[in-house]
Amino acid sequence: MNDAKTPMTREERLAARLRENLKRRKAQARAMGSANESESESPDSPETGLSNSAA
C-alpha cells in the first residue's frame, strides 16, 4: 500500500488495527465454538451439574 518512506495516516493505522482485532476475535470465537461442541458431545459430563439418576 504505502512506501516505507511514507508514514501511515491515523485512519490507516486504525483500520489496520481494526482488521487485526477482527481476525483475532474471529479466531477466538471459532476456538470457543469448537470447545463448546466437544463439551456437548458428552451430555452427562460433570460440568453440567446434572446426574443420570432417575428422579
Residue type, 8: M
> Residue 28: what pLDDT?
95
- Condensed to tens digits (0 to 9), the pLDDT of residues 7-52 reads 899 999 999 999 999 999 999 999 998 888 776 655 555 555 555 6
Tell me: pLDDT of 55 over 80: no
For residue 16, which amino acid is it?
A
Better-predicted residue by pLDDT, 45 or 4: 4
The pLDDT of residue 14 is 97
How would you write 16-43 as a 3-class SS string?
HHHHHHHHHHHHHHHHHHHHHHHHHCCC
